Amino acid sequence: MTNTTCQRLVLASAITVAVFGAAACSSGTPSVSKKDVESQIITKMTGADGKKADSVTCPENLAGQKGAEINCTMKVGDKTSTVNVTVTSIEGEQVKFDMVQTIDKDQVAKQISEELGQQFGTKPETLTCPENLKGTEGATLRCELKDSGQTYGVTVTVNKVDGSDVNYGFKVDDKPKS
């Protein structure tokens, strides 16, 4: 079974940024300070209404390693959202990274559960997702549905991103996990 749903994101799109990282004293590996990441998010990203962020908080520095990531919290007006920051490449001391809004994992699970409830007259006992869904076309997430003593995988895929609208679908596995 494949279904589609749409979630309005606070941010418009993914943005790539390049900054010069400060070398860590012990390893010589570049990193980007959390203050620099926060500044880039405030400078480059806006809410769905076009307003700049009121505040951004990142938990730590961004390691200068391809694939390293952190999740920062962005507040625009009364809305709080998560921005995923992922290192895409390193060129000497220059660290390039993408910034993209994510849809909260609990919100994804809730929307899927509600849609299944509408289709079948009852919601699954539980539906959980291990992480937030990145708001970029083609992004996927594997969630888990439990009902009547059976456990099924659920694949969630972002089909289209149009401004602040993220259209994603989900497919429940045909057979339960062994």
- pLDDT tens digit string along 82-128? 899 999 999 888 899 999 888 889 999 999 999 999 998 999 999 99
Judge whether 4 lies within some domain: no
Report how far residue 10's alpha carbon sits from residue 50's, in angstroms, rounded to the nearest whole number: 9
Which of 41, 73, 102 is the C-terminal boundary of a domain? 102
Q: Is there a single domain that holds both residue 114 and residue 92?
A: no
Distance CA 32, CA 22 (A): 6
Same domain, 165 and 134: yes
Q: What is the pLDDT of residue 124?
A: 95
- Say which amino acid occupies 83: V
Write down which residue in 102, 128, 158 finishes a domain: 102
Domain that holds residue 19: 15-102
Encode pLDDT of 140-158 as tens digits: 999 999 999 999 999 999 9
Among residues 70, 102, 134, the one where a domain terminates is 102
- Per-residue model confidence (pLDDT) at position 164: 64
pTM value surpassing 0.85: no
pLDDT tens digits for 18-34? 555 443 334 567 889 99
What pLDDT, on a 0 to 100 scale, did the predictor assign at position 163? Answer: 65
Return the percentage of the chain with pLDDT > 70, whole number. Answer: 82
Which pLDDT belongs to residue 86?
Answer: 93
Q: Within a domain: residue 6?
A: no
User: Tell me, what's the pLDDT at 18?
Assistant: 55
pLDDT given for residue 111 in this prediction: 94
DSSP at 52:
B
Q: Between 42 and 79, whose confidence is greater?
A: 42
> Do 77 and 93 fall within a single domain?
yes
Give domain status of residue 9, yes or no: no
Domain presence at residue 117: yes
Q: Write down the pLDDT at residue 16.
A: 52
Residues 56 and 111 in one domain: no
Q: Looking at the structure, tell me whether residues 97 and 109 fall in a common domain.
A: no
Residues 66 and 25 in one domain: yes
Measured distance CA(132)–CA(134) in Å, rounded: 6
Q: Are residues 119 and 148 in the same domain?
A: yes
- Indicate whether 44 and 28 sit together in one domain: yes
Structure-block tokens of residue 95: 């660290």
